[in-house]
Amino acid sequence: MKAIIPVAGVGTRLRPHTFSYPKVLLNVAGKPIIGHIMDKLVDAGIDEAIVIVGYLGNMVEEWLTANYSIKFTFVNQPERLGLAHAIWMCRSFVNEEEPLLIILGDTIFDVDLGPVLKSPCSTLGVKEVDDPRRFGVAVMGEGKIEKLVEKPDTPISNLAIVGLYFLHKAAPLFSRIEHLIEQNITTKGEYQLTDALELMIEDGERFTAFPVHGWYDCGKPETLLATNETLLRKQAPARKYPGCIINEPVFIASSASLVNAVVGPNTTVGEHAVIADAIVRDSIVGNNAKVGRIMLDRSIIGNNAVISGTPQEINIGDYSEIRVG
């Protein structure tokens, strides 16, 4: 079966990292965000992926083709006009009579795709959230979705659509997207996939919902670090580093060097990174980064970045109180 993976977005909320690196290639718990997604898809038997690229798309293309052997088709979305528009760009590569899986390239999930791909009708992944105003939401009726609303202003449902869509046939979706584009129907300035799906529901298409308990957002620095922590907790412990203290959970790339360092908890250290005379916790350190003589907490250090501090020499008397910024 084919999967469509949209990754054309700019990732503005993750700047400055996304100025030079696509969001989906940022390292979380030892591999790029999109690597976590691809591993799930390959395990579920997906043998062909249509990847919608745009901003820094050549880097995504290079990484995917170097790391996975399934068939890829890369489709360029020159302008980010919304998710429905992104899907529309793929129309000539999809057999509209066949089922289709759409999965966002920047959201890591923990769900068994087997039953989803066998679903007799179209089905969407959902999760209960406290504040649904940032998401598309599903209003449930008896055993099916009654209505979908993109970023509702009034709280009509707290079931967020997580970015996993299974359509038992692609054609009805493409015809509704065509309608949105022809009539220039947008929500919050974009052609929304939620709106196209809602048109299908209004026309009588049956959609069910499946729960996605493990849904790990990577869109902002704080959620990227929280996802890093959650995924690290599921991994095997790191090897020992003589002269260093490792506070699990951590991921330390085998080519990284640690010298007189305290690393972790909840820390990822990328390939060829060097951490010397430093303490790093709750952080992500990129490939080839150098961290020296400093203490880092909840930090994201980009690839090839260098950060170092200066050891202080202080001679203070009894009862002194000094806070060094």
The contact set with ligand UTP (CB under 6 A) reads: 6-13, 23, 52, 77, 80-83, 85-86, 104-106, 219
Side chain identity at residue 165, one-letter code: Y
Q: Which residues contact 126 (CB under 8 A, 6 or more apart)?
A: 138, 159, 160, 161, 162, 209, 210, 211, 212
Which single residue brings its beta carbon nearest to ligand UTP?
Answer: 9
For ligand UTP, give the closer residue by CB, 54 or 264.
Answer: 54
For ligand UTP, give the closer residue by CB, 10 or 171.
Answer: 10
For ligand UTP, give the closer residue by CB, 82 or 264.
Answer: 82
Residue 90 Cβ vs ligand UTP, minimum distance, rounded to whole Å:
11
Residue 174 Cβ vs ligand UTP, minimum distance, rounded to whole Å:
16
Residue 106 Cβ vs ligand UTP, minimum distance, rounded to whole Å:
4
- What distance in Å separates the CA atoms of residue 241 and residue 273, rounded to the nearest whole number? 14
For ligand UTP, give the closer residue by CB, 91 or 293.
Answer: 91
Side chain identity at residue 41, one-letter code: L
Residue 200 Cβ vs ligand UTP, minimum distance, rounded to whole Å:
19
∠ Cα 281 282 283 (to 5°)? 90
Nearest to 138, CA basis, from 193, 101, 86: 193
For ligand UTP, give the closer residue by CB, 52 or 278.
Answer: 52
- What distance in Å separates the CA atoms of residue 232 and residue 280, rounded to the nearest whole number? 15
Residue 57 Cβ vs ligand UTP, minimum distance, rounded to whole Å:
10
For ligand UTP, give the closer residue by CB, 85 or 176.
Answer: 85
Q: How many CB atoms lie within 10 A of CB 34?
A: 25
Residue 54 Cβ vs ligand UTP, minimum distance, rounded to whole Å:
6
Q: Which residue has the tokens 């009509």?
A: 156
Cα distances from 261 to residues 238, 240, 254, 281, in angstroms, run 14, 12, 16, 11
